[in-house]
Structure formats: C-alpha cells, structure tokens
Structure 1
Amino acid sequence: MEPLDGNALAGVMHDLFARDMTTMGYKCTSCGHTGVMAEMVVYMSGPGTVARCRGCETILMMLTERRGMYCIDMSGMAQPVLPLA
C-alpha cells in the first residue's frame, strides 16, 4: 500500500484531542528534522498506524486501537508543539 501524508490521521486525532492536530509541530529524535503532523509519512496497512519522519524514516508515532481504546506512542518525536485551537 502506498504511504499517505499526516492528513490521513486528522479524523482520529481530532476525536482524541478535540482539535485539528495536523498542525502539531515536532522535531525528529533521530535526524532533527522539524515539521508538522500533516507532513509525516503515514502507513495504515498494518494492525496499527505508523507515522514516519519524511527526512530519515524514523518512526515518529504509532497508533493502535483495541476494544475501543487507543494507544499512542510518540517516542520518536521531541518537542511536540500542540496547536493553539
């Protein structure tokens, strides 16, 4: 399956954080690339969703859902900056 951009996560992230998260800023812990969630490279074909850095392909975020509960691992991101609104 072809990768998507971070906008593919907009709906579920809005449900979880009650705001548009596509403008959330971040810094990659591996290469230092900075960007916003909308620019991430997203793969949704596995048992969960994986968002990777556009610069070095490090996993920035993993999102899984089981029995109505979401688990988010953002350990690949340094300095996440939430949108103001």
Structure 2
Amino acid sequence: MEPLDGNAMAGVLRDLFGRDMTTMGYECPGCRRTGVVAEMAVYMSGPGTVARCRDCDTILLMLTERRGMYCIDLPGMPQPVLPPV
C-alpha cells in the first residue's frame, strides 16, 4: 500500500490539539532525519493510523480511536517541536 502524507491526519490532530499540527517538527530516533508531521509516511488501513519516517520506516506516531476516545502515542518523537500558536 502506498503511504499518504501527514496531511491525511490534519483534521483529527486539529480536533485533538486545537491547532494545526502538520507543522510540528520532529527528529527521527532511527536515522536522525528532521522534518514536520506533514512529511511523514502515513498508513490508515489498519485499526488505527501509523505515521513512519520516510527514510528508515521508524514508527513516529500512532493514533487510534475507540468509542469516541482517541489515543495518541509518539514512540518516535520523544521531543516534538510544537508549532507557534
């Protein structure tokens, strides 16, 4: 399956954080690539959404929804750089 870009998560992330998160910066712990959420490789075919590094495939973000509650995990983003408000 061909990945989407991080903009595919823009609406849900805006709902959760109250602002545009596609410009949130990160540094991949696997390969040290730096970028923003909009550049991640996003897969939405499973029970949730998985965002990976485009260079090394490290999982950076996982987002699941169950019964109207969202769970977001940032295993590959220990120090996300939030965009200015």
Task: With the length of structure 1 as denominator, give the TM-score of the two structures.
Answer: 0.96
Confirm or deny: 8 A CA contact 1:22 1:36 kept in the other structure.
yes
> Displacement of 1:29 after TM fit?
1.2
3-state SS of the aligned residue for 1:81? Answer: coil
CA RMSD across the alignment: 0.8
Which structure's residues are more often strand, by fraction? 1
Contact 1:24 1:82 (8 Å CA) reproduced: yes
Runs of at least 5 residues in structure 2 that lack an aligned partner in the other structure: none
TM-score normalised by L of structure 2: 0.96
Matched, 1:21 2:21: yes
Distance 1:78 1:55 in 2: 18
Whether 2:81 is the aligned partner of 1:73: answer no
Give the number of equivalent residue pairs. Answer: 85
Structure 1 segments unaligned to the other structure (5+ residues): none
> After TM superposition, where is structure 1 displaced by more than 6 Å over at least 4 residues in a row?
none
Q: Counterpart of 2:65 in structure 1: which amino acid?
A: E
Q: Which amino acid aligns with 1:43?
A: Y
Trace 1:1-85 onto structure 2 (pairs within 5 A). 1-85=1-85
Structure 1 residue 2: deviation in Å?
A: 2.2
